[in-house]
Amino acid sequence: MSKNAKLAVLGSINADHILNLAHFPRPGETVIGQNYQIAFGGKGANQAVAAGRAGADIAFIACVGADDMGKRIRDQLTQDNIDTTPVEVVEGESTGVAMIFVNGDGENNIGIYSGANAALTPDCVARHQHVIADADALLMQLESPLESVLAAATLARQHHTQVILNPAPATSLSDELLALVDIITPNETEAESLTGIAVNSDEDAARAAEVLHAKGIGTVLITLGRRGVWLSERGEGQRIAGFSVKAIDTIAAGDTFNGAFITARLEQKPMYDAVRFAHAAAAIAVTRPGAQPSVPWRTEIDDFLQ
Ligand code: ADP
């Protein structure tokens, strides 16, 4: 892989509508909110933005609706250093939406409409197969149709493109898909969904990693929130601590970690250094509110690591 190694990200785009209110409405009740904002989100877009701002040469395979929101999001992604040529505009669908209620205790209730994200079908993946074939790595999550994730991973394997899967949101996955993954990056909850092992300690993480290695995955990175990550490369595991910061909002911490990590790996940083780079990016993100607004640019990550 050269300095200009290419990254493809495949995943979701959502407009997050966030309403803060004193308490969640009960059935039939109307509650007047205190604050409302629209933020750009979706795990695919968040990870693409994290990679773009970290300096990756990245193209994003995704779908938006033929609406004003879709246009605004595409424009923003372009400003975040992302090639949006493979972002399809789907006629007759709206851009994906997340309706988020946040109550006075900071808890949230979320309803999602997939909208155009559902149009990221295996046919759509096939239309952009040259992007996957040209890339050195393909980064995916699970907010897109599973059969499309499988189709993309299959294409990647055919073209010797490394597959990195962030298996979020939590679900179980087929052995067929897992066998096509080179690097997997679950958080503790997702690791439990995949392996049945509750991850409460480094020993648990090591056991969960072994289960994933047995499925054919060479590198397992279980993110452990403020404790850092458990890195396991076939038989050898270690915990790599994160940075101690005053976290105010951990939304998109994992997304930032993933985008920054693969960017660093494509620059041929050794595994340990790539994890530290990703820890730094995610640590900056948790000190700021929101999803994409919190994602740092390369200069900020480099300054943090000085
Ligand atoms: P997710 O957001 O997917 O649940 P985690 O909570 O495991 O993922 O966090 C991913 C990464 O974000 C961690 O490995 C770490 O680098 C960083 N991170 C998360 N929470 C904190 C925190 N409180 N302080 C510093 N870094 C954090």
The 3-state secondary structure of the chain reads CCCCCEEEEECCCEEEEEEECCCCCCCCCCCCCCEEEEEEECHHHHHHHHHHHHCCEEEEEEEEECCHHHHHHHHHHHHCCEECCCEEEECCCCCEEEEEEECCCCCEEEEEECHHHHHCCHHHHHHCHHHHHHCCEEEECCCCCHHHHHHHHHHHHHCCCEEEECCCCCCCCCHHHHCCCCEECCEHHHHHHHHCCCCCCHHHHHHHHHHHHHCCCCEEEEECHHHCEEEEECCEEEEECCCCCCCCCCCCHHHHHHHHHHHHHHCCCCHHHHHHHHHHHHHHHHCCCCCHHHCCCHHHHHHHHC
Residue 137: predicted pLDDT: 98
Work out which ligand 1 atom sits closest to the CA atom of 223.
7
Cα of 297 from ligand 1 centre, angstroms: 18
Instruction: Say if ligand 1 is within 6 A of residue 245 CB.
Output: yes
> For residue 264, which of 243, 282, 238, 247 has the smallest C-alpha distance?
282
Question: How buried is residue 133: exposed, middle or buried, by Cβ count under 10 Å (0-12/13-18/19+)?
Answer: middle
The 10 Å Cβ neighbour count of residue 32 is: 7
Q: Which of 221, 257, 275 to mutate to test the pocket of ligand 1 (most atoms within 8 A of CB)?
A: 257
Cα of 114 from ligand 1 centre, angstroms: 26
Instruction: Say if ligand 1 is within 6 A of residue 239 CB.
Output: no
> Which pTM was predicted?
0.96
Residue 2: predicted pLDDT: 47
Instruction: Say if ligand 1 is within 6 A of residue 243 CB.
Output: yes
Distance CA 282, CA 191 (A): 19
Question: How buried is residue 113: exposed, middle or buried, by Cβ count under 10 Å (0-12/13-18/19+)?
Answer: middle
Cα three-residue angle 110-81-46, rounded to 5 degrees = 15
Kindly provide the ipTM of the predicted complex, given to two decimals.
Answer: 0.99
Residue 1: predicted pLDDT: 45
Residue 106: predicted pLDDT: 80
Residue 235: predicted pLDDT: 77
Instruction: Say if ligand 1 is within 6 A of residue 145 CB.
Output: no
Residue 52: predicted pLDDT: 98
The 10 Å Cβ neighbour count of residue 174 is: 11
**Type of residue at 169:** P
Which structure tokens are listed for 304?
Answer: 């943090």
C-alpha dihedral sign at 131, 137, 143, 146: positive
Distance CA 204, CA 211 (A): 11
Residues annotated as catalytic (active site), given as ranges: 255
Q: Which of 184, 221, 223 to mutate to test the pocket of ligand 1 (most atoms within 8 A of CB)?
A: 223
Cα of 296 from ligand 1 centre, angstroms: 14
Question: How buried is residue 36: exposed, middle or buried, by Cβ count under 10 Å (0-12/13-18/19+)?
Answer: exposed
pLDDT string in tens for the chain (306-residue length): 445 799 999 999 999 999 999 999 999 999 999 999 999 999 999 999 999 999 999 999 999 999 999 999 999 999 999 999 999 999 999 999 999 998 998 888 889 999 999 999 999 999 999 999 999 999 999 999 999 999 999 999 999 999 999 999 999 999 999 999 999 999 999 999 999 999 999 999 999 999 999 999 999 999 999 999 999 998 799 999 999 999 988 889 999 999 999 999 999 999 999 999 999 999 999 999 888 999 999 999 999 999
